[in-house]
Amino acid sequence: MKKNVLCALALLGVVGTLASCGGNTTTADYKLGLGQAISLTKGDNDIITQIDITFASVVYQDEKVVSTYIDVVQLPIVYTAADGDTEESYAYKPDANQVKNAGTKNVETKKELKERYGMAQFANTTEWYVQADKFEEWATGKTFDELTVTKGEAGDDGHTEEWTNNVTGCTILVDDFVTAMKNAKKHSVDFSSDEAPKAGVGVLVGAAGSQIDVNFASVANVGNKAAASVVDVYQIPLKAGVLDADNKAVKNKLTGTEFASKFELKENYGMAQFAHTTEWYVQAEKFQEWTKGKTSEELNGFNVAEPDGNTHTEEWVDNITGCTMSVGDFVAAIQEGMTNKRA
């Protein structure tokens, strides 16, 4: 009898141990990257008429893609030359879909437009966001080296010169998708999660004078939280309808690019010249660290202080250690990336 009781207790102990092990969760290490690719459309006298920027949020592990989200913003620009007392000006083309259908935003991305982008009107073509989703499915599980695509000849409809022919369900050109994804390795952060994260992208566009500002973010979504985020900004300097060659974003551009983002400029951005201020990318990294694990609501928990004469901005953050610059647009972009994400 005693022997049977001991055996029963031993069996219960084994079961209890298994149940305890089954309740444990495993935390894995990941990287989150933010990459982009840019193309300019130019008209007469090389005046820029449209800027296309492809964004890629990539969650990866040991060089293999765990989740990716691709989006594109097309900035259709109307340039008006100076005439008498009138200064040169830039405006978004008012009859472009991404502008006239943008609601409260200046410009919507292709994925935000969905059916309103209008690609499905062409023969044998599905809508852009549907095809982008097919590409994201294809890219998931591949290493960065395996991200290669082949092209076919133009179809009878002739609305594109060539298209992708080795990604099922995706006929649009995806060269910039691949470029943006591979560039994401250059701008990435480490994080850990006990769930597989979902990649997301947020984009905010604004114009001030002869400059277009594009704030964008990559987000690793776990549940209702941003497990990690990466932010960057393009300041697109225009002068007489072309990129301003004297602007540091153009002068200090990277090889093969038209201009550089604030992160890509690093020390060349020049923020550290101001009193009590560290360089932009250093502050951005501090901000990114602060965002880890926060919900969308918690991301609103930054404090804005009044200027004290030692800053060149009108306002700055005073509760994120190491980050004093204004972060409202970063937060808004991250919050978008928590909504605009892989299902």
pLDDT of residue 90: 86
58 within 8 A of 33, measured Cβ to Cβ? yes
pLDDT of residue 158: 52
pLDDT of residue 11: 46
> What is the model's pTM?
0.88
308 domain-assigned: yes
pLDDT of residue 327: 93
Within 10 angstroms of residue 109's Cβ, the number of other Cβ atoms is: 24
Distance CA 296, CA 325 (A): 20
pLDDT of residue 9: 46
Query: Based on C-alpha coordinates, what's the Rg of the chain?
Result: 24
22 domain-assigned: no
pLDDT of residue 219: 98
pLDDT of residue 93: 93
Question: Which stretches of the chain score pLDDT less than 70?
Answer: 1-24, 123, 153-162, 275, 306-315
pLDDT of residue 252: 93
155 domain-assigned: yes
What Å distances lie between residue 286 and 11, 14, 328, CA to CA? 52, 47, 15
Question: What residues have CB less than 8 Å from 167, skipping those under 6 apart?
Answer: 134, 135, 138, 149, 174
Distance CA 69, CA 284 (A): 22
Q: Which domain holds residue 96?
A: 29-339
21 domain-assigned: no
Total domain count for the chain?
1
Question: For a pLDDT cut of 70, what percent of the chain falls above it?
Answer: 86
7 domain-assigned: no
141 domain-assigned: yes
